[in-house]
Structure 1
C-alpha cells in the first residue's frame, strides 16, 4: 500500500459520534505522518547518495563561490566554521568539492608535464600537499562541531518529549474532569499553545504522542458545550483551510521535480494535522480528496526511485561483466613493448567503458569498484614490473650501441679502404649481437650508426668507380631509359608488354652510378614510370614489389656483399617484428566476444589486420629467400 493511503478497511460504523469520527481521522493522519517520515528518511538517503555521486552538478549550481586558489578556499572555510553549523553546512560542502576538484586538476597537470618530459606513467607520484593537510584539519574541526550540534539536538528532543508528556498529563486531567470544564477553556488553550511552541521530539515517540494529544484535545472540546454558532464557524473556517490544502496538493501533480513535490506534500500534511475538524457530514469527503491527491504524488515518488534502482541494477550487471573481461585478460606471456602498448590500449578502452556506466546500487557500489580496481591494478603492476626489469638491460644496450656509433664515426673519414671496411663490417656484426634499446632511442641510434657506415662506403665507391664524367653519362642514359619506359605502348599481348618492360628494368640495373646528389631524384622518376606501366598492365602489387626488389637487389649486389648482408638483416628485423604483431593480435582476439555489435566489428577489423600482416610477412620471406639464393 502507498504510504500516504489510508487503510481501505477503515470505515465509520453507523451511530458513531463526532468524537469517534474525528479520532479516526486523527489516527489515520498520524499513521500517514509516520509512514511519510519513513519514506522521507529513505528519500534523504537516496538523495544523499545522488549528491555524493554527482558533485559536479552540486558545484555548478553554486555560482557565488569563485576562488582563484586553494589558499582562498582554506581562508573561506576557516571563516565559515566559526559560524553556526546549520547556516554554513551547504557552503562548506561546496568549498570541499571545489577544493578537491582543483587538487585533482593540479595533479593531472603535473602528471601531464611528467609524461611530456619523457617520464613513464608508472613512475609518477603526486607530491604531498601541505594545503590539503590544512584543509583536512579544518574539515575535521567542522565535523566535530556538527557532531556536537547533532548531539545537542538529540538531547533537546528528549527534553521536549518530557515537556510534552507533562502537558499531556495536564490535558488528561482537564479532559477527564467532572467539574464545569468551561472554566478551563483558557487554561486548555494555553496548554495547546505551549504544546505548539515546543520543538521536535524523538521519532520513535512522535506517533504515540500525537495520538494522545489529539485524543485529549478532542475529548476536552467535546465535553464542553460550545456555542453551536461558534462551532459551525470553526467548521466552516477549517473546511476552507482544508479545501485550500487539497487544491495545493492537487496542483503538485503538475510539478516536474518529483523530490520537491514530495517534500512540499509533507509540509501540507503537517499543516493538515494542525487544523481542527470540519462538519461531520463533510469529514470523509474532504479527507478522501486530500488523500487521493497525496496518493498521486506518492506513486510518482515511488516510481521515480524504482527507476533509479532498476538503472543501478543494470549498471551493476554491466560492471560485473566488465570486471570479468579484465580479470580473464591474459597478459602473462607479453614480453615486448609493442605488445604491452597494445594490451594497455585495450585495458584503457575498458576503463573508458567503465566510466561511461553509471553507479551501481549503494550497498554493492564500493565492492564492485574494489573488484574493478584490483583487476586493473594487477595488469598495471605486471606492466610496471616488466618495465622495471627491462629498463636496466635497455640502458646497458643503449650505452653499447652509442660506443659503436662513436667508433664508426671515427672511422668514416678514413681512406684506408680495405682495412677500414673490414673494421666496419666487424662493428656491424657486433651491433647485431647487442640486444634491444629504449624505443625512443632505437631509431636515432640506428640512423646514426648506419649513416656513418653508408658515408664511408659511398666515399669508397666513389674513389673506385671512375671519373665524374662516367656518372654524368650514366645519368643521361638513365633519363633516356625513363623516357622509353614512360612512352612504352601496351600491345594486345600483355605478356609481351611485361617482358619488354622487364627488359628495360634489367637494362636500368646494368647502368652504373650517377652523381650522388641526383641519385634519389632519378630513382624516384624511374620508380614512378615503372609503377605506372605495371598499373596499366594490371600487375598486382605483390608481384610488382617483388620485381622491383629483384632489380634493386642487383643494384645492391653491385655495391658489395656488405650491402646485401645489411639488406638481409633489415628484412629479418621486419619479419620478426611482423610475426610478433601477428601473435599479439591472435592472442588478444580471443578476449573479444562477437555477441555484441561492437565486439563483432572489432573482431572483423583485427582479422583483416592479421591477414594483411601475414601477406606482408610472406612477401618479406620471399625477399629473404631471394637474397639467400643470390649470396
Structure 2
C-alpha cells in the first residue's frame, strides 16, 4: 500500500477489505433491482415478447465470463487496482532495479539524489525505502563502532554524538522526499475523490439510459460519450477500483442487452470489441513467448486494463472462447513469472550460503590472536575485504534477511571489540613511551647549551640511542616530540662541531693543501732513471708530510696518496724490497697520530700475522721436498718448489724489516 494515511482506515487492511466487500454486495443488489425493472418498459417501442424479456434478465443475472476468478487473473487485477489509484504507478515498474545492498553510504546518497531529481516522487517509494533501509543499517554499524571506540577511550556514553557529512546529506534528501511526497498525496486525495464521484455519476447516467424516452440512436450516441468520459475520468482510490469497474461493466452489459431493440448498433459494437480483443489476445500470446518475464507481465497489465476499461462486451457466443484464450496466455506468463521468482529464490539461497561462509571467515579472523600493530592492520584489511564481499554477495530471502544482517553485525562487532581492546592496551603502552621520550627531551634541553663536551657528548649520544629503542607513541604526538628532541640534539652537536672546527682549523687547511697536492701529482712525469725517480718520489713524500695532519673524517685522503705512490713505484725498475720499504715508511708516517697508537697497533698485529703465514708456507713447502728425496734438483717440479721457497723467504725478510721499522716508531 502507498503512504496515503488519509485514504486508509485506521484499523488497517482488514477493515478496508471488509468495506470493499460490503460495497460490492450493495452494488450487486442494486444492479439486480435495476435489471428487474426492465420487465416493465415504459414505451411501446420497448415492448417485446415475454420470452425476450426473460432471456434479457437471464443474461443480465448471469455472471460474465471475464469475472471468473483465477489466481493468475487476480494478480493482474490486484496490480491494476494499485495502479488505478495513481496513473503514474506504472512508471515505477520501469525504474532500474539496483543492488543497493552492495553500495556504500556515499553511493546510496548519490542514488537517492538522482532519484529525487530525475523521477516523479510518487514512483520511487520502494526504491527510497530500500535505500533508506540499507543506509541506516550501514550507518548504524558505523555508529556502534565509533561509540565503542569513544567509550574505550574513556568517554561517557551519555556524551557520545557522531555524525558525518554523508549522514547529514542523506537526512536532508529524505526530508525533501517526505515533503514532496506529502504535497503530492495532499493534491492526489482531492483528485481521487473528485474522479470517483465523476465515475459514479457516469455509472448512474448509464443506468438511466434504458429508461430515457428518445430515439435509440441518440441514446446510443449518449452511451458512447459516457464511455469516453469513463476512459478519461482519471485515477480513483484502489480500494474502490474493482468495485467501480464491476459496477460499470455490469451496467454496460445491461445496456448492450437493452440494445437488442436495435441489433445493428449492438452487433457493430460487438464486432468492433471482438476485433480489438482478438488483437489483445494475439499480443498476449506473443508476450507468453517473451523471455523477459517482468517486461511481459507489465505489458500484460496494460492489456488487461484495455480489455476491462477501454472495450465493451462481445457477442455471447464468443465470450467464453476469447476469455479462455486470453486467460490461458495470462496463465502462461503468470507461470513463467512464478518460475522466474522461484529461480530467483534459489539464487537468494545461494547468496545466503555465500554470506554464511563470509560470516564464518570473519569469526575465524576475530578468533585469531594477534599481538602486533602490523598483524592487526593486516586483519583489519582482511575484514574490510570480507565486509565488501558480504555486501557484494547479493540479496538473501526476505524471511532471513534481518537475521543474516544481525549475525553479520555481531561477527564484525566481535572483531571490533578485540581490535579496540588491543589498541586500547597499545595506547596505554604508547602513552608510557611518550612519557619516556618526554624525559629524554628534558635531558636534551637541559644539556644543549653545555660546554662540558667531554662529559655531555657521551650522554647526548646515549639518549639518542635510547630514543631509538623506545617504541611508538600516539600518532598525534609523534612528529611534535621528534622535532623537539631533534632540535635540542642538533643545537648541542652544532655547537660541538663549531668548537671542533675552530680547534681543527689547521687540520682542514692541511686537508685543502693535500687535496690540491694530490691533484697536481697526477701530472708528475718520471725521468725513467731509477735513482733519480726514487729521489723525486722521496721528495714528494717529504713534501706531503710537511703539509701536516688532516681531520679524522678526512683521513681517506692518505689512502688516495698511497695508491698514487704505488702506481708510480710500480713503474720503477729497481729492487722490490727497497721500494716496499720506502712505501712502508710513508705509510707509517700516516698511521702515526699523537696520543693515539691504535692504528700502529693494528698494523703491528697485521704484520705479525703475515710473518706467521709466510713461515707456515715455507715450512709446508720444505716438508713437501721430503717426498722428492731421491729426485735430482734439476727436476722441474723440484725446481718450482725451491723457487717458491726462495720467494717466500724474500717476502719474510721484507715483513721482518717492516716489523723492525714499526717497533722503532714506539
Which TM-score applies when normalising by structure 2? Answer: 0.47
Bigger RCO of structures 1 and 2 (CA < 8 A, at least 6 apart): 2
Larger Rg: 2
